[in-house]
């Protein structure tokens, strides 16, 4: 009897191994070449919500501060008022001996959605920016969809900029030398904050740093949106539609320059922009076009 049981276990294991190998092979195949097996498994898990992105991912070595700089970095977790009876969290990193340093407002990515990105998922990046640049890095935890729709995140982001301008000196920062930065959804908010600050004669910014920013919610036929929408590159069309439907549920919101800065009537007078796009990214073309329009 026990021999029959062992045979069943062996056969089951072999079948499972074959099915797994074939599945990984299938996940590895993309229109632009074959992914490494480990990468394919990770991206498949992320794309199918089998793992959560709501974790603190350590930065790669070239971004991570060395042990000596860690001891000099100060971290502050505070809250600031954005409207009556409403506060949002803000995280600040700076060197302990910082004085008159530039200030970087960093807006985290995550599709504007609860559970996709927050101060914890981007903590390593926030800390590393402070360590590598010597700047005071201020990152607001703006309110997220679906509970908070457009323009709540925009308003929170701009309020945080105003707060930083008024309080930068307390942390060794120079209120007259502030830049905005962000990735993906955060890149959108950084660009929009720069636009809003110009329109409202707010704090003067010396730069905007946009990492693969989303620059429009409109239905535009960008090649990159079509070619790289299958989820092999972390961002899928499904997630993009979910973000739009949750953050900007009304179509008229897509036309607003504070959601779609790519189509703002006037992009002059903005701070110089440094825009980084990824080759295999649905957001690539709109990021590059925004760079051309703001040049």
229 vs 118, higher pLDDT? 118
Pick from 141, 138, 182, 184: nearest CA to 164: 138
- Which residue shows structure tokens 């720069």? 194
Domains and CATH numbers, the chain: 1-51 (no CATH), 55-294 (3.40.50.1820)
Q: How, if at all, do strands 86-95 and 73-83 pair?
A: antiparallel
Given a cut of 90, whether residue 183 has pLDDT beyond it is yes
pLDDT on residue 62: 46
Q: How far is residue 273's CA from residue 180's CA, in Å, rounded to a whole number?
A: 10
Given a cut of 90, whether residue 56 has pLDDT beyond it is no
Tens digits of residue pLDDT in 74-133: 999 999 999 989 999 999 999 988 889 999 999 999 999 998 889 998 999 999 999 999
Tens digits of residue pLDDT in 283-292: 898 999 999 9
- Quote the mean pLDDT of the chain: 84
Quote the longest CA-to-CA distance of the chain.
Answer: 83
Question: What is the percent of the chain where pLDDT is above 90?
Answer: 57
Given a cut of 80, whether residue 233 has pLDDT beyond it is no
- Count other C-beta atoms under 10 Å from residue 292's C-beta: 8
Given a cut of 50, whether residue 68 has pLDDT beyond it is no
- Spell out a b/e string for 119-144, using b for 16 or more CB atoms within 10 Å of the CB, else e: bebbbbbbbbbbbeeebbbbbbbbbb
Tens digits of residue pLDDT in 267-276: 999 999 999 9
- Name which of 39-43, 52-56, 115-119, 121-125 the model is least confident about: 52-56
Strands, E assignment, the chain:
29-30, 33-34, 73-83, 86-95, 101-107, 136-140, 173-183, 205-211, 273-276
Q: How far is residue 194's CA from residue 29's CA, in Å, rounded to a whole number?
A: 40
Find out whether 138 and 107 touch, Cβ atoms under 8 Å: no
Tens digits of residue pLDDT in 144-163: 999 999 999 999 999 999 99
Tens digits of residue pLDDT in 3-38: 666 666 656 665 655 656 666 566 566 654 555 565
Average pLDDT over residues 195-216: 96
**Chain mean position to CA 71:** 27
Q: Which long-range contacts (CB under 8 A, 24 or more apart) does 73-76 make?
A: 73/127, 73/130, 73/131, 75/127, 76/171
Find out whether 104 and 181 touch, Cβ atoms under 8 Å: yes
């Amino acid at each position: 009897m026990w021999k029959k049981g062992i045979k069943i276990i062996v056969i089951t294991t072999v079948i499972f191994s074959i099915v797994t190998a074939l599945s990984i092979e299938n996940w590895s195949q993309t229109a632009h070449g074959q992914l490494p097996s480990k990468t394919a498994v990770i991206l498949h898990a992320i794309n199918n919500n089998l793992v959560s992105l709501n974790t603190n991912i350590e930065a790669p070595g070239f971004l991570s501060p060395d042990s000596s700089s860690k001891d000099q970095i100060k971290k502050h977790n505070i809250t600031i008022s954005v409207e009556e009876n409403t506060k949002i969290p803000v995280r600040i990193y700076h060197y302990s001996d910082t004085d008159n340093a530039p200030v970087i407002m960093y807006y985290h990515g995550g599709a504007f959605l609860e559970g996709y990105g927050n101060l914890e998922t981007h903590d390593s990046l926030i800390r590393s920016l402070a360590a590598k640049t010597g700047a005071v890095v201020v990152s607001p935890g703006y309110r997220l969809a679906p509970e908070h729709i457009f323009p709540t995140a925009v308003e929170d982001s701009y309020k945080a900029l105003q707060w930083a301008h008024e309080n930068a000196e307390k942390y060794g920062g120079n209120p007259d030398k502030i830049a905005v930065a962000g990735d993906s959804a955060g890149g959108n908010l950084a660009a929009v904050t720069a636009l809003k600050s110009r329109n409202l004669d707010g704090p003067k910014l010396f730069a905007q740093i946009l990492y693969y920013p989303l620059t429009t919610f409109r239905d535009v036929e960008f090649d990159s949106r079509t070619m790289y929408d299958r989820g092999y590159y972390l961002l899928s069309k499904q997630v993009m539609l979910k973000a739009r439907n949750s953050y900007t549920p009304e179509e008229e919101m897509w036309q607003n320059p504070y959601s779609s800065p790519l189509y703002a009537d006037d992009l002059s007078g903005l701070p110089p922009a440094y825009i980084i796009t990824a080759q295999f990214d649905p957001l690539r073309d709109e990021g590059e076009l925004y760079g051309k329009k703001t040049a």
